[in-house]
Amino acid sequence: MEDVLGRSCALHYLRDKEGREVDFLVTIGEQPVLMVEVKWAEGSLSRSLPVFSRYLPGVPGVQLVGEL
């Protein structure tokens, strides 16, 4: 996106004081656009995504799993 459209993009790591975390927060032009939690072999949904969704309303969250 930066090379083709000239829009600044970045990846961030989210963590709060209680130790909850989300692996990636994608921003475009300093605006958060997507939260991504990555697990290798986790069958249950992340408990952190709903917590951070309250602080970032409207930002979708996805969980990627390598092996279910």
Answer yes or no: is pLDDT of 65 > 80.
Answer: yes
Q: What is the tens place of the pLDDT at every residue in 8-41?
A: 999 999 999 999 999 999 999 999 999 999 998 8
Query: What pTM was computed for the model?
Result: 0.87
> CA torsion sign, 61 to 11 to 2 to 32?
positive
- Look up the domain containing 33 and give its range: 2-65
CA dihedral 58, 12, 50, 34 (to 10 degrees): 40
Q: How many distinct structural domains can be found in the chain? A: 1
